[in-house]
Amino acid sequence: MEQHWPTTTRRVWQIRDGEIAEQETQVVLEEPLSLHVNGQQVAVLMRLPGMEKELAAGFCISEGLVADFADVLTIRHCGRGLPEMEAGAEAGGESRNQVEVLVRPGGLRPEARLEVVRLIRAGCGAVDVDRAEMPLSPVQSELVVDTQVVLGLSQAMAAAQELHRHAGGVHAAALFDAQGKLLILCEDVGRHNAVDKAVGHCLLRGIPLADKLLLCSGRLSYEMVTKAIRLGLPILLSMSAPTALGVQFAERFGLTIAGYLRGSRMTVYTHPRRLGLG
């Protein structure tokens, strides 16, 4: 079956060693996704077309808009995407620019989008995580994973990044089990979107997250860390670095994070016991 990439063809001028060559190249698409919950728009996400239902599910839970996925009744597409994706949309029904989520009464937390504002105000420029009013529950998982298994994950993720090899311009997020088996890899123009699509894939299929590892290509900011905490993921890894606030949240709420996962090296920042250290 022919692969329908979410890309468009552009003519470019490549300069290399003083030589100029005019040629065609592939550029990844970026479209707005309007997310509605119980009839109200809650977000517009700039994302790579595809896996809209997974993105909506992951976003609602990881951002705390819905505390429990059991409160989600239905998720459905509405609308079409940009013209470049119409052929792919006809073939796979993927390119949609609006998703409607129906949540059980009482399951929606509209105040969740204001929590970052409260966090900033509480910190007055220097956030005290121990005093921040963030309704997060500590990660309870007692998962322990062999260090050698973790060190092999970056190579496994790189091998699965097909769109990155085809066109570049995308982040990746991958979920693995404790034995290092790749469960799902998602690529997107946004690192947050890639994470939400990967975890949304599991939420929609009833795959538990409390015994999984999440590997990201981008930095581990506090937003990425709080996503993992809300989802109950015990181990969050990155090819890049964490931020200081991300490390503070991970330490406070029991999340193991490690950065610079490349080849045979990594740097563990919090709760090393899950990697057999400390």
Contact 88, 94 (CB under 8 A): yes
Q: How far apart are CA 202 and CA 197, in angstroms?
A: 9
124 is catalytic: yes
Q: What DSSP element (H or E) covers 1?
A: none
Which of 246, 207, 203 has its CA nearest to residue 224?
A: 246
In order of 175, 259, 261, 275, the CA distances from 158 in angstroms are: 13, 16, 12, 21
Q: How far apart are CA 172 and CA 164, in angstroms?
A: 9
Contact 28, 167 (CB under 8 A): yes
Give the pair of three-digit tokens for residue 134: 């963030």
Q: How far apart are CA 90 and CA 104, in angstroms?
A: 32
Question: Which residue in the list 124, 186, 202, 216 is annotated as catalytic?
Answer: 124
Q: How far apart are CA 82 and CA 55, in angstroms?
A: 18
Which residues are identified as catalytic?
Answer: 124
